[in-house]
Amino acid sequence: MNKKNKKLALTGGAAAAEALKQIEIDVMPIYPITPQTTIIETYAGFEANGEVDTEIIKVESEHSAMSAAIGASAAGVRTATATSSQGLALMHEVLYIASGFRLPIMILVSARALASPINIHGDHSDVMGCRDSGWIQLFCENGQEVYDKTIIGMKLAEKVKLPIMVIMDGFNTSHSVENLEILETKVVQEFVGEFEAVSPLLDTENPVTYGAVALQNSYFEFRIDQEEAMKNAEEEYEKIAKDFEKISGRKYDIFEEYPASSAGKKTEDVEKIMVLTGSAAGTAKVVVDKLREAGEKVGILKINLFRPFPHQEIAESLKNAKEIIVLDRAQSIGTYPPFYSEIINSLYGNGRDAKFCVSTGREIKSYIYGLGGRDIFQKQIEDVFMGKIKSKYIQ
């Protein structure tokens, strides 16, 4: 550890705010919603103490928060906001406009259940609801990851000119205090670099029009461009994460294999792999350690980058697993849950991008857990590994 790095006890929300402070956000439209408020309150505290130069706009809704973020980003400055649940749902319309404009806006999402019934606690329903909106989605397991991935994410978004959501579990991560390592501000700033706007509105000498009407003869091509940019984000993520490892010593591949060999690759003997993300991955790691000690050949694949989804690499990673268990913290009512669908997409067929036809009649199990903040315990994860839970819900 660099001696100039600090150790701080912070909540996940405060860790996000700390990273945003170091990155130097120019404009931050904010609107409160639980459990995201730890982020904006911490940041407002920085403003009150003169620690940041950010123009904070205290808007009247999340829709306006994203709308103002789009205005600011198009104007030519580094822009971020934070939200949860209904707030993200309210932004939904304008999320597509941000990505269509190719604006590198960041949202820190403290992921929470959606109404109805209303529930303020953590699950992934809100972020899954906008998985097709053209935003990069990066999941975090704990507060350290929130801090680190906010820094990685900002650089990635600005590199590929796409907006990004850095996602933490509402309450589980956003409100849990952990001891974190905070990098030197200078190092963070050098890493992320200066913001470079593509077509800033404030360059009045070179006027541009944002938000044109594109009809049948041109709309299609713009959408293809967006998809190409998103595809490119995977490779860029890997490069940026590698560079981040150099300054921090912390490694974030597009997904994490656990337990990992010293080379960072999956331990060869793993037969049963559990796919999941977020704070539950931390719990599952403890279970894996315990089961492996008892001789069970179990392991974890933790999703970091969810959009773009790294189908090919995941297929490769799961190639030799005898059993795959997918845990989702969201439903996709009327079809399979989101992670499960993606894993199936990765493994079957040889069309499009899925180059690996590895359908071998293996069991690929799907479970939903943790809706509305329901805790998941080590015992339950152990039971899932051991095939003791027959329902598709881990209640």
Partner 1 sequence: MNKELTKYYSAGHSACAGCGFPAIVRAVLGELKTDVVIANATGCLEVTSTLYPYSAWKAPYIHNAFENAAATISGVERAYEALKKKGKISKNKKIKFVAFGGDGGTYDIGLQSLSGALERGHNFLYVCYDNGGYMNTGNQRSSATPYGAFTETTPTGKESFGKIETRKNLMEIVNAHRIGYLAQSNVAYLADLKKKAKKALETDGPSFLLVFSPCTNNWKFPTSQYVNVGKLATETNFWPLYEIENGEHKLSFEPKKITPVTEFLKTQGRFKHLFKEENKPHLEEIQKLVNEEFARIANLCE
Partner 2 sequence: MAEHGAIIKHDQKKSPKTGAWRYMHPEVDKKKCIGCGTCVGFCPDATITIENKKAQIDYEYCKGCGVCAEVCPMKAIIMKKK
DSSP string, 29-71: EE---TTTHHHHHHHHHHHHTT----EEEE-SSHHHHHHHHHH
Sign (positive or negative) of CA dihedral 13, 14, 20, 26? positive
Binding of partner 1 by 70 (CB under 8 A) = yes
Half-sphere exposure of 394 (CA within 13 A, CB side): 28
Binding of partner 1 by 27 (CB under 8 A) = yes
Exposed, middle or buried: residue 249 (CB in 10 Å: 0-12, 13-18, 19+)? exposed
- Can you list the alpha helix ranges (DSSP code H) found in 249-337? 280-293, 311-318
Binding mask 208-227 for partner 2 (x = CB under 8 A): xxxxx-x---x--xx--x--
Binding of partner 1 by 50 (CB under 8 A) = no
Residue 341 partner contact from partner 2, partner 1, none using kind-dependent CB cut-offs of 5 to 8 Å: none
Phi, psi of 276 (to 5 degrees): -165, 180
DSSP state of 133: S
Q: Beta strand pairing status for 298-303 and 272-276?
A: parallel
Report the distance separating Cα 120 and Cα 157, nearest Å: 29
Residue 117 partner contact from partner 1, partner 2, none using kind-dependent CB cut-offs of 5 to 8 Å: none
Cβ neighbours of 394 (radius 10 Å): 20
Binding of partner 1 by 71 (CB under 8 A) = yes
DSSP state of 189: H
Burial code of 112-123, b = ≥16 C-beta within 10 A, e = fewer? Answer: bbbeeeebbbbb
Q: Nearest distance from residue 93's CB to partner 1, in Å? A: 6
Binding of partner 1 by 183 (CB under 8 A) = no
Residue 115 partner contact from partner 2, partner 1, none using kind-dependent CB cut-offs of 5 to 8 Å: none
Q: Nearest distance from residue 199's CB to partner 2, in Å? A: 5
Site for partner 2 in 125-164 (CB under 8 A): 161
Selected range binding partner 2 among 124-132, 206-214, 241-249, 277-285, rule: CB under 8 A: 206-214
Binding of partner 1 by 134 (CB under 8 A) = no
Binding of partner 2 by 102 (CB under 8 A) = yes
How many residues belong to the site for partner 2 (CB under 8 A)? Answer: 19
Q: Which is nearer to partner 2, 210 or 348 (CB)?
A: 210
Residue 118 partner contact from partner 1, partner 2, none using kind-dependent CB cut-offs of 5 to 8 Å: none
Residue 60 partner contact from partner 2, partner 1, none using kind-dependent CB cut-offs of 5 to 8 Å: partner 1
Binding of partner 2 by 86 (CB under 8 A) = no
Binding of partner 2 by 104 (CB under 8 A) = no
How many residues belong to the site for partner 1 (CB under 8 A)? Answer: 43
DSSP state of 174: T
Q: Which residues bind partner 1 (CB under 8 A)?
A: 26-27, 29, 53-55, 57-61, 63-65, 67-77, 79, 93-94, 97, 201-204, 207-215, 218
